[in-house]
Structure formats: structure tokens, C-alpha cells
A = this chain, B = another copy of it.
């Protein structure tokens, strides 16, 4: 009898959609389905829908291999408690123990973690960090998240709350942050940070040549700023330059804590590759302690951008011990 292929499920819970992928050991995505998270308002109906999708994958996967585990990445997920805490867009999921719920149904290892840690695990298993034991991943989306790997393991902290680099204070008495304090890195380096910098530059330079001067503040997006920067809009370009400067400075300090081999950048803000990266690397090297100079690489994630989150989620259950439990089977759905 041929030995069965080992498969993994990665679930990426986002505020808009939940993506569920069936992934093999090499990171090939065998199947991908999507659930509109935003159409739900309670965990029971949502999880019935997730379980239906999982059942369909389970039945499909039988011919191919055996599912070894389910990994779940979600905003504000706590890897120690197994609970989603304080997620703003999907507050109806807060407190729901998705790990226990799914493992009790499917009898295979289930691991929940926040999306930044999932990104780091994804980079380790499928991406550019496969040979590394010391690296960091910075996720640059609406906010700024971080996953840190030291000695080959994710740094979790005592209660799973480590890796909040976005909330290190980088400018004392700086910009107001959603956390209630001022000057957090995320208020400067993130999608929203870029937009705020545009306004700051408008205030400082008082010029109307930039196309951004024609757009109301609440309509400006980082994506648009990136597009304009590429077209040569001076304000847009400067906004990315400033973000890169601030990020490079912050990352130079983080090196003094961890001495990583590489820092990977991922997320929407990195799509216009050179734009942010060049300025970040320049400021990084300029601010590094001499013993670290020209030793540490900053690069864009090597995961495919569209599937990075699903791959990261699937990677969470790599190298986990499987309990002695029956094979993955279709659920007797506890909510149906």
C-alpha cells in the first residue's frame, strides 16, 4: 500500500473573508475556498459554515492524502490561550475558543495564532527563512505586526502577548495611537501611518501640485499613495520615504535585542517593492550599531502575496505532535 501524502489545512480569518486552503508539505495549495466573514455576526453560524467547508475539503482530500492538522491565523489571536482577543472587525468572534471547538470535532491538532506569528511560521516552513533560526517578520497592512523567531521558535512571551513592535513608542509625545498612547511605530509605519504622513506633509509644505491635495483626507488610501509615488508625485514619494526612514530606525533598535539573520517585510505596504524597502534599508544601516552593520538582511517575504496568509496558517501545525486519535473525518457538526 502506498503511504499517504501528508496534508495541512490553513485557515486565514480576515474581517472581510475567511480563506481555507488545503496545503501539502511543499506549500502547494491543493484547494482554496472562501467564506464571507463580514456576512456573519455570531460564532455559531460562522463555524457551521467553516465546518461545512472543512467537510468538503476532507472528503476531497481522501484520495490524495491524510490531513495532519488545522492551523488558523487571525487578528488578535492569542497563541497561548487559543482565543481571539479584542479583534476590532470581528468582535463577535472575541472569546470564542476556535482551537477547542475544531479539535473536538475533527480529532486532529488545531493551532490558532495571530497573523503576524503565522506569517513568521509560514516564512520558516515555506518561504525565505527555511534555513534560519533567527529572523523577524514585519507585517505592514492597516497596522504594523511582528512575528519574532529566536533559537528556531516563535517568541510568545509569558501570556502570548510578545511581538507588539507596532506599539513600541518611537516618537515620545508623537501621533495619537488607537492604543491610547502617543508615538507608536504603527502610527508612522502602516497603511494608516502613510496617510497621516501625507497630511503632515501637506501641512508642512503647503503646496497643491500633488494629486493628493485634491482628495479628502478620509478618502486617501495607502494603495493610492503608493501608485502616485510610482508616478512621481513628490508628496506621495516623500510619505514612503519617511515611513522607510522610521521603519529602518526602529528595526535597527530591534536588532540590538535579537540579532536576527534577516528581517522579512510583508503585507500590502510592501507591494510596490522598491518604494518602501530602499528607504528602510538605508535608514537601517545608518542607525545600526557597528557590530551589526552589513550583516543583517532586510527583504520582502518570499511567500506568494496572495496566499501568504493561508500558507502561514497551515505552517502553524507543522512539527506538531499528533495525538493518538482517529483520522480526520467529516464532522458531526456541533452547531448543525
Q: What residues of chain A have their CB less than 8 Å away from a CB belonging to chain B?
A: 133-134, 148, 150-151, 153, 155-165, 167-169, 172, 179-181, 249, 252-254, 256-261, 287, 289-292, 295
Known: A163-B257, A253-B169. A289 touches B179 (CB 8 A): yes
> For A159, A163, A172, A289, which residue has the most chain B Cβ atoms within 10 angstroms?
A289
Residues of B within 8 A of A148 (CB): 257
> For A162, A172, A290, which residue has the most chain B Cβ atoms within 10 angstroms?
A162
- Please classify the interface of chain A as helix (H, G, I), strand (E, B), loop, or mixed, using the class held by over half of its residues: loop
Residues of B within 8 A of A163 (CB): 256-257
Q: Are B291 and A162 in contact (CB under 8 A)?
A: no
| Distance, CA A292 to CA B292, complexed state (A) | 30
Q: Name A163's closest neighbour in chain B (CB-CB).
A: B257
Residues of B within 8 A of A168 (CB): 253, 256-257
| Distance, CA A141 to CA B158, complexed state (A) | 28
Partner of A134, one of B134, B158, B181, B257: B158
Interchain residue pairs with CB less than 8 A apart (28): A133-B158, A134-B158, A150-B150, A150-B162, A151-B151, A155-B257, A156-B259, A157-B258, A158-B259, A158-B260, A160-B259, A162-B256, A162-B257, A163-B257, A164-B256, A164-B257, A165-B256, A167-B256, A168-B253, A168-B257, A169-B252, A169-B253, A169-B287, A172-B249, A179-B289, A179-B290, A257-B257, A257-B258
Q: Are A150 and B161 in contact (CB under 8 A)?
A: no
Known: A168-B253, A179-B289, A179-B290. A259 touches B159 (CB 8 A): yes
Q: Name A161's closest neighbour in chain B (CB-CB).
A: B259
| Distance, CA A157 to CA B160, complexed state (A) | 21
